Amino acid sequence: MTLALLGWSIPLQVVFNGLSLGLGYAVIAAGIVLIYRCSGIINFAQAAIGAFGVASFVVLFQNYHLPYPLAAGLGVAGAALLGVTTELLVVRRLFDASRVVLLIATVGVAQLIAFLIFYVLPPVKGGPIPVAFEAKWARFHLGDSLVVGTRQTSLVLLVAPVLIALAWFLTRTRLGLHIRAVADNPANARLVGVSPRKVSTLVWGMAAAFAGYTQIAVAPIVTRTADELAGVSSTGLLLRALVIAMAARMRSITVVVIAGLALGAFESLVAVNVDRDPGAFNAFLLVAVLALVLALTRGRTRPGDTSIAIGARSTPIPESLAGLRWVRHAPAGGMVLLLAIALLVPLFVEKPSQLLVWTEVLVVAIAAISLTLLTGWAGQLSLGHFAFAGVGGLAMLAFTRGQPMGLGLPIVGNVVAVTVDVPWLAAMALAIGLGVFFAVLVGLPALRVRGLFLAVTTLAFGFMAGSWMFNRAFWNGGRQSVRSAIRERPELFGVDFGEPRNYYYLCLAFLVATVVIVSHLRRTGAGRNMIAARDNEAMTAASTVSPTRAKLTAFAVSGGLAALAGCLYAFLLPGFNATGDASPFSPDASLRLVAIVIIGGVGSIGGAILGTLWVLGLPALFGATDTVQLLTTNIGLLLLLLYLPGGLIQVVQSGWAATIRYAARTHGAATRAVKPASTVAFHERRHSTPAAGTPWLEAKGISVRFGGLLAVDDVSIRVEAGETVGLIGQNGSGKSTLLNAISGFVDHDGSVSVLGRDVSSRAAHERHAIGLGRGFQDAGLFRSLSVRETVLVALEARRRSLILPALLALPPTNRWERTKRAEANDILDLLQLGQYADRRIEDLSTGTRRVVELACLVANGAKVLLLDEPTGGIAQREAEAFVPVVQRIQRDLDAALVVIEHDMPLIMAISTRVYCLESGHLIASGIPHDVGNDPLVVASYLGTDDRALVRSNQPATAP
Ligand code: ADP
Ligand code: MG
């Protein structure tokens, strides 16, 4: 029986086969969900572990003729063993590392397993993949048109009970409940008396056994013969499983099963209806991912934050040593040394193929730097980065070849056909532009999602591009293999770049330009803003910088650089496949690039280069033997991660830190740099005050809802010119949420106006640009920036950094940077923070961080300051000294102040008026004396909360 819908035929048989395939996907996804819930890790090795199970099973069955149950049992056991080993050797060691390091570690594990399957297991004797139940009864008709084959029957009989058992185990058994308890909150584990580590090992073993078991059941459906088994892309399987896990928000096993079935059925239908295009399903998969991202991120749930919490820890040169030339020039000196070696390489390399490899190193280094910028600075994990390189490279070839440009869509066909034929430099510019375009497009979901979702989105994009998009006529000229490009290498200024040596130097020049541009970017505002947006979005917006824009900028710059690398790559190779596993722009190349960046050290340009040298340079030096490959990718990657979680650059950085310490010991005090004469006013008056009588801040009818909880209920507050307004109430009464609504950090009903301007529909950064200044309960600031850099971000309020001038090192970038630096130093001196200027925020005490936050308010020059427990987390004596500082800043800025404070005598003394909240309601407002004696306030707050009398040392919670 066949149905038809929108021109697609829907044969029942196909749907049924698809459903059984989907069941297989679902179980792999269930394993991923299980591990994720228990340890927050996205296990990229899940499919590979299963593949190991299948491979050992097939070997045992075919080569050694073990009976099916025994062979399958051993296969499952092998997979389980692999899972447990991974947990014990890798996961456990990296338990405290950033989740993304763990993610990459599991990618390494996956590669290692592929290696094991290929080299350690004996090769499989051919033949079909064994099916569990081959008896007659297992093959039957359902109705008159549906044939249920033995493979499907076996799959359902094998997998369905296991899925039910899993659901039962998790919801009904003691151990299952423990696992769920630990998954929901690791601290629970201690309460219920289970060791989280033991649970972790158990879950990994279970999930791995699961993967092995189901993949054994699914294998006959995915591939027909044992030989094909090795060719099944586990990345494709993984991507499908991840999409399913994502649809279930990494939670419900039921949703996993439903989503899996749907995906399997859909995939089979695509294969029947769009069969001309084997990769077409991946295009649909990307669409599905994007739809999921849009559908699931509405509301407040933000599953799986795996934003990169690592950054290269380079020691900045202290101002006191800035006078020492050799210290100042040392980092550049290191780069120059590397450059000198790079310049000499062609003189020592004889074979052209060798030179080709070294040229490749240069090109990949450019791509690695572009990923460093995106992942290391902006914290956006891109698992499909080489697709941007592919966009650049293939577009460049198309442009220079005068190939007709068709926008191929799977259904509509080629709708646009334009022929472009331009000189190669112009083609390169166009190709880079296209790279920027695609990167921004892929980056758009990143505005709504982080971590896992973004990783899956970029992975899906890389997959779609590598298997389908690059197969369109526009990208590959309609041929499977892109025509040899080597003879088309350009000529410029009379230099023939068709000559390999010249081309090497051309690529080197581009690499040097990339290093110069990107490191310049890091030292100026645009780069700082990217890191700020990664570390703390709310604080970035409070500094009047749009985190959205900072992230998109990172995507754009990074995509452009990757496209540049692609352009150079396309001319390097003597012809290549645009799609498929052998393509230089395949998803595997993207994963390798992530590994390169992690091996080198995320976030550092030097690290990106070191990583490339390690992964590509070592094989070039010592020959690409299996051992070298093993060292540079699989095992090497794992060992490096385990022993040098900061990457190779960590070694360089430790050496550098020691050098600085040495220099400081020998020259420190003597050569204290002369402070540049102060040229700047203590603050600039950014905002004109509104007409007399207009309140400076007015919030009317503010309500904030978190799911079912009404955290703030119809609250109105008003702040007049120059007032100090206190906000009091028990913990959890909605004080911080009210300030967050006014700041624009949470969605709210009601209206807010600042200095007489209605800002209700404005984004947070715009509200702060109009005159709000904000301090946070946790004073988190930007953990990986230095104190001076933090103030520099706040100074964006005065002078916005421009991205294009910064990229091209054009004015006014450097002049503005100098001015800002002088301003920052002034402000730091004013608050006696000079000695901390070069310290990283995360190394400071809470007290110091609170002072830095004040420095940021000064830098901002805001008119309405909103402070959330400004003395929280600091000792009583310091707090007493702190308040006059706040008041002085308020006076100097001529600002109004709204302050949340638990210290009652203090708040009553400094406030002109006080508001009191209880469970989201405003219960009293007025002059301090009246509010302090209001019976409601006494009953709700003063009488019950000890901390209203004793100062709080409560650990802060994020706003
Ligand atoms: P306060 O600052 O007065 O201690 P908060 O404004 O932080 O109180 O919290 C008010 C209520 O809103 C609390 O019940 C808190 O759990 C809840 N809440 C705060 N932020 C969120 C959030 N992002 N998601 C869900 N609930 C939240
Ligand atoms: Mg609070």
Q: What are phi and psi of 805, to 5 degrees?
A: -60, -35
Model confidence at 223: pLDDT above 60: yes
301 touches ligand 1 (CB under 6 Å): no
Cα 799 → chain centroid:
28
Model confidence at 715: pLDDT above 90: yes
Q: Best substitution site from 302, 537, 706 to test ligand 1's pocket, by max atoms within 8 Å of Cβ? A: 706
Model confidence at 86: pLDDT above 60: yes
Report the DSSP pairing between strands 724-729 and 913-918: parallel
Over residues 784-809, mean pLDDT = 87
User: In whole angstroms, how far apart are CA 791 and each of 685, 856, 859?
Assistant: 17, 5, 7
C-alpha 734/C-alpha 644 separation (Å) is 44
pLDDT recorded at residue 674 = 42
C-alpha 22/C-alpha 49 separation (Å) is 19
pLDDT (tens digit per residue) in 300-356: 333 334 344 444 466 666 666 767 777 777 777 888 888 999 899 888 887 888 888
Which is the closest atom of ligand 1 to the Cα of 712?
A: 10
Do 79 and 206 meet the contact criterion of CB atoms below 8 Å apart? no
pLDDT (tens digit per residue) in 104-135: 788 778 878 877 887 778 877 777 778 878 77
Model confidence at 663: pLDDT above 60: yes
How many residues in the chain? 959
Do 308 and 534 meet the contact criterion of CB atoms below 8 Å apart? yes
Nearest CA owner, ligand 1 atom 8: 732
C-alpha distance across the termini of the chain, in Å: 57
pLDDT (tens digit per residue) in 532-547: 988 888 999 999 999 8
Which is the closest atom of ligand 1 to the Cα of 730?
A: 3
740 touches ligand 1 (CB under 6 Å): no
Report the DSSP pairing between strands 896-900 and 864-868: parallel
Beta bridge partners of 758: 753
Q: Cα Rg for the chain, rounded, in angstroms?
A: 30
pLDDT recorded at residue 572 = 84
Which is the closest atom of ligand 1 to the Cα of 746?
A: 23
Over residues 29-37, mean pLDDT = 85
> Which tokens is 706 given?
């978190």
Lowest mean pLDDT among 29-43, 365-379, 417-431, 477-491: 477-491
- The percent of residues in the chain predicted with pLDDT above 90, rounded, is 25
Exposed/middle/buried for 115, CB within 10 Å: 0-12, 13-18, 19+? Answer: middle
920 touches ligand 1 (CB under 6 Å): no
Over residues 157-162, mean pLDDT = 85
pLDDT (tens digit per residue) in 481-516: 776 555 566 666 667 777 888 889 999 999 999 999
pLDDT tier for residue 624 given thresholds of 50, 70 and 90: low
pLDDT recorded at residue 205 = 92
Quick one: which H or E segment has residue 700? strand 697-706
Do 648 and 601 meet the contact criterion of CB atoms below 8 Å apart? yes
Model confidence at 415: pLDDT above 50: no
pLDDT tier for residue 952 given thresholds of 50, 70 and 90: very low
307 touches ligand 1 (CB under 6 Å): no
pLDDT recorded at residue 38 = 74
466 or 276, higher pLDDT? 466
C-alpha 463/C-alpha 587 separation (Å) is 6
User: In whole angstroms, how far apart are CA 634 and each of 615, 616, 682, 899?
Assistant: 10, 13, 55, 54
737 touches ligand 1 (CB under 6 Å): yes
478 or 417, higher pLDDT? 478
Which is the closest atom of ligand 1 to the Cα of 738?
A: 6
Those residues whose C-beta lies under 8 Å from the C-beta of residue 449, and which sit 6 or more positions away, are 293, 297, 302, 457
Lowest mean pLDDT among 164-168, 180-184, 250-254, 396-400: 180-184
Lowest mean pLDDT among 8-22, 511-525, 860-874: 8-22
772 or 883, higher pLDDT? 772
In one-letter notation, the amino acid at residue 424 is W
- Residue 487 has a CB neighbour count (10 Å cut-off) of 9
DSSP 844: S
224 touches ligand 1 (CB under 6 Å): no
Model confidence at 298: pLDDT above 60: no
Those residues whose C-beta lies under 8 Å from the C-beta of residue 24, and which sit 6 or more positions away, are 155, 159, 214, 215, 217, 218, 221, 222, 260, 264
706 touches ligand 1 (CB under 6 Å): yes
Torsion of CA 282, 283, 289, 290, to 10 degrees: 170
Model confidence at 678: pLDDT above 70: no
Do 684 and 871 meet the contact criterion of CB atoms below 8 Å apart? no
Model confidence at 23: pLDDT above 80: yes
Model confidence at 419: pLDDT above 70: no
731 touches ligand 1 (CB under 6 Å): yes
In one-letter notation, the amino acid at residue 948 is A
What mean pLDDT value characterizes the chain? 81
Over residues 901-912, mean pLDDT = 88
Q: What are phi and psi of 725, to 5 degrees?
A: -115, 130
Question: 3-class DSSP state for residue 779?
Answer: coil
Do 504 and 358 meet the contact criterion of CB atoms below 8 Å apart? yes
Do 237 and 47 meet the contact criterion of CB atoms below 8 Å apart? yes
In one-letter notation, the amino acid at residue 568 is L
pLDDT recorded at residue 944 = 56
| Ligand in closest contact with the CA of 735 | 1
CA atoms within 13 A on the CB side of 873: 19
User: In whole angstroms, how far apart are CA 127 and each of 135, 155, 226?
Assistant: 18, 19, 6
C-alpha 587/C-alpha 383 separation (Å) is 8
Q: What are phi and psi of 91, to 5 degrees?
A: -60, -45
Model confidence at 230: pLDDT above 60: no
- The percent of residues in the chain predicted with pLDDT above 70, rounded, is 84
Those residues whose C-beta lies under 8 Å from the C-beta of residue 402, and which sit 6 or more positions away, are 419, 420, 421
Those residues whose C-beta lies under 8 Å from the C-beta of residue 485, and which sit 6 or more positions away, are 397, 570, 571, 573, 574, 575
CA of 530 to the centre of ligand 2 (A): 27
In one-letter notation, the amino acid at residue 718 is R
300 touches ligand 1 (CB under 6 Å): yes
- Residue position matching structure tokens 């029986």: 1
CA of 183 to the centre of ligand 2 (A): 26
Helix 234-247 × helix 46-58 angle, to 10°: 130
114 touches ligand 1 (CB under 6 Å): no
CA atoms within 13 A on the CB side of 369: 27
Model confidence at 520: pLDDT above 50: yes
Q: Best substitution site from 704, 705, 735, 737 to test ligand 1's pocket, by max atoms within 8 Å of Cβ? A: 737
Those residues whose C-beta lies under 8 Å from the C-beta of residue 67, and which sit 6 or more positions away, are none
Report the DSSP pairing between strands 140-142 and 8-11: unpaired
Do 154 and 217 meet the contact criterion of CB atoms below 8 Å apart? yes
Do 171 and 50 meet the contact criterion of CB atoms below 8 Å apart? no
Nearest CA owner, ligand 1 atom 5: 734
User: In whole angstroms, how far apart are CA 878 and each of 66, 111, 851, 884?
Assistant: 75, 54, 11, 11
734 touches ligand 1 (CB under 6 Å): yes
pLDDT recorded at residue 668 = 58
pLDDT tier for residue 752 given thresholds of 50, 70 and 90: very high
Maximum pairwise Cα distance, the chain: 95
Torsion of CA 541, 780, 331, 645, to 10 degrees: -120
pLDDT recorded at residue 364 = 96
pLDDT tier for residue 19 given thresholds of 50, 70 and 90: confident
Question: 3-class DSSP state for residue 739?
Answer: helix
> Which tokens is 482 given?
């892109």
Quick one: which H or E segment has residue 915? strand 913-918
Model confidence at 562: pLDDT above 50: yes
Those residues whose C-beta lies under 8 Å from the C-beta of residue 155, and which sit 6 or more positions away, are 20, 23, 24, 217, 218, 220, 221
Model confidence at 714: pLDDT above 80: yes
Model confidence at 418: pLDDT above 70: no
**Three-point CA angle 491, 497, 501, nearest 5°:** 160
pLDDT tier for residue 682 given thresholds of 50, 70 and 90: low
pLDDT tier for residue 200 given thresholds of 50, 70 and 90: confident
DSSP 62: I
717 or 455, higher pLDDT? 717
CA of 919 to the centre of ligand 1 (A): 10
Nearest CA owner, ligand 1 atom 19: 737
pLDDT recorded at residue 490 = 66
Over residues 548-575, mean pLDDT = 91
Torsion of CA 308, 310, 311, 315, to 10 degrees: 160
Q: Where are the alpha helices (DSSP H) in 297-423?
A: 325-348, 352-371, 385-401
CA of 949 to the centre of ligand 1 (A): 22
477 touches ligand 1 (CB under 6 Å): no
952 touches ligand 1 (CB under 6 Å): no
| Ligand in closest contact with the CA of 778 | 2
Q: What are phi and psi of 710, to 5 degrees?
A: -90, 95
pLDDT recorded at residue 85 = 92
Nearest CA owner, ligand 1 atom 13: 732
C-alpha 59/C-alpha 621 separation (Å) is 36
pLDDT recorded at residue 675 = 47
Torsion of CA 161, 211, 47, 139, to 10 degrees: -50
Lowest mean pLDDT among 26-30, 122-126, 491-495, 659-663: 491-495
Which is the closest atom of ligand 1 to the Cα of 704?
A: 12
CA of 737 to the centre of ligand 1 (A): 6
Exposed/middle/buried for 347, CB within 10 Å: 0-12, 13-18, 19+? Answer: exposed
CA of 931 to the centre of ligand 1 (A): 23
pLDDT recorded at residue 617 = 85
CA of 279 to the centre of ligand 2 (A): 51
pLDDT recorded at residue 124 = 73
736 touches ligand 1 (CB under 6 Å): yes
Model confidence at 720: pLDDT above 70: yes
Phi-psi region of 123 (alpha: psi -120 to 50; beta: other; left: phi over 0): beta
CA of 776 to the centre of ligand 1 (A): 14
CA of 952 to the centre of ligand 2 (A): 12
> Which tokens is 6 given?
């929108």
735 touches ligand 1 (CB under 6 Å): yes
In one-letter notation, the amino acid at residue 685 is R
Model confidence at 768: pLDDT above 90: yes
C-alpha 662/C-alpha 325 separation (Å) is 14
pLDDT recorded at residue 410 = 36
Residues, CB-to-ion distance under 5 Å, ligand 2: 736, 777
pLDDT recorded at residue 371 = 94
| Ligand in closest contact with the CA of 775 | 2
Helix 500-523 × helix 325-348 angle, to 10°: 160
Q: Best substitution site from 300, 302, 702, 709 to test ligand 1's pocket, by max atoms within 8 Å of Cβ? A: 709
